């Protein structure tokens, strides 16, 4: 490439050194992304345990655990949905390998969340649980989300992928419905300020739009996509 003047030369040098400075941490992230994903997935559990050991679980431990595990499940759902768009935008294939990891962590936290509700909050009282599902619309929405995530988690393994063939993809598209139901659950349970749940909802809708083939093609052609 022809360098026209001194300024251009300096700019080019700067760009090259910036690229190599960024390259190292990027390559490290790429190589270790599988482990990083586990680190991110286990972080909420670590924080919950740390808070429990150091400062107790507040005056209402059951509510504390319910809220924390619910939030962790939703964050993991968003991370799962973000993997494909991140690959489309930055050609970061490692994100695709982390999809299942984040998906399973989201189910893990959702399972803990529901178990705390059923076992600690309602001490397995089936009648009380059914009454609360029928009375509280946010519980119904949460149950809907959980019932969608359950078969997705069970069938997330390669054996099921092979067995289900094309239907596997169809089934796993349900993750969006589950994610939206989880946001509805969150929005309905919040009493006044619904800005945070709506922010999660907006994020999920944006990630969904980014998967529409026409949008995806446009994004794939953007300039900052890393060279293959
Ligand atoms: C049978 C299914 C479910 C039940 C019974 C349930 C129940 C609850 C309850 C009782 C709360 C606390 C309400 C309060 O104390 O004000 C809550 C909060 C929450 N749940 Fe669920 N939930 C279910 C499924 C889910 C799922 C599948 C997700 C996400 C993937 C989820 C995400 C949340 C979130 C984000 C919160 C609020 C956390 C916060 O405010 O920090 N829930 N849920």
Q: 102-114: per-residue pLDDT in tens?
A: 999 999 999 999 9
Measured in Å, residue 117 CA sits from the centre of ligand 1 at: 9
Give the per-residue pLDDT at 25: 78
Q: How confident is the model at residue 225, as a pLDDT?
A: 55
Q: What mean pLDDT do residues 37-44 have?
A: 98
Q: Residue whose CA is closest, atom 21 of ligand 1? A: 70
Please give the Cα distance from 140 to 63 (Å, whole number). 18
Mean pLDDT of 96-122: 97
Whole-Å CA distances, 210 to 78, 88, 149, 203: 13, 9, 21, 11
Cα separation values, 189 from 67, 86, 123, 140, 178, Å = 11, 31, 21, 11, 17
Question: What is the pLDDT averaged over residues 117-141?
Answer: 98
CA nearest ligand 1 atom 38, residue: 67
pTM of the model: 0.89
Q: How far is the CA of 60 from the centre of ligand 1 (A)?
A: 15
Find the mean pLDDT for residues 61-77. Answer: 97
CA of 225 to the centre of ligand 1 (A): 37
Task: Calculate how far, in angstroms, residue 57's C-alpha sits from the geometric centre of ligand 1.
Answer: 17
Ligand 1 atom showing the smallest separation from residue 146 Cα: 27
**Quick one: which atom of ligand 1 is closest to the CA of 200?**
35
Mean pLDDT over all residues of the chain? 91
pLDDT at site 224: 59
């Amino acid at each position: 490439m022809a360098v026209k003047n001194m300024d251009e030369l300096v700019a080019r040098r700067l760009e090259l050194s910036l690229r190599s400075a960024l390259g190292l941490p990027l390559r490290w992230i790429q190589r270790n992304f599988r482990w990083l994903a586990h680190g991110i997935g286990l972080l909420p559990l670590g924080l919950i345990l740390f808070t429990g050991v150091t400062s107790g679980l507040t005056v209402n431990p059951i509510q504390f655990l319910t809220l924390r595990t619910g939030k962790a499940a939703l964050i993991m759902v968003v991370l799962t949905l973000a993997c494909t768009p991140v690959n489309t935008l930055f050609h970061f294939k490692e994100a695709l390998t982390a999809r299942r990891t984040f998906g399973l962590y989201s189910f893990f936290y959702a399972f803990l969340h529901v178990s705390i509700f059923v076992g600690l909050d309602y001490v397995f009282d089936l009648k009380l649980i059914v009454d609360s599902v029928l009375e509280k619309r946010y519980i119904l929405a949460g149950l809907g989300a959980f019932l969608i995530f359950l078969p997705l988690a069970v069938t997330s393994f390669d054996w099921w992928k092979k067995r289900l063939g094309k239907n596997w993809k169809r089934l796993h598209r349900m993750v969006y419905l589950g994610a939206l139901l989880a946001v509805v659950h969150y929005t309905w349970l919040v009493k006044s300020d619904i800005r945070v749940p709506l922010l999660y909802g907006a994020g999920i809708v944006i990630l969904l739009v980014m998967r529409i083939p026409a949008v995806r093609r446009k994004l794939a052609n953007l300039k900052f996509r890393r060279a293959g």
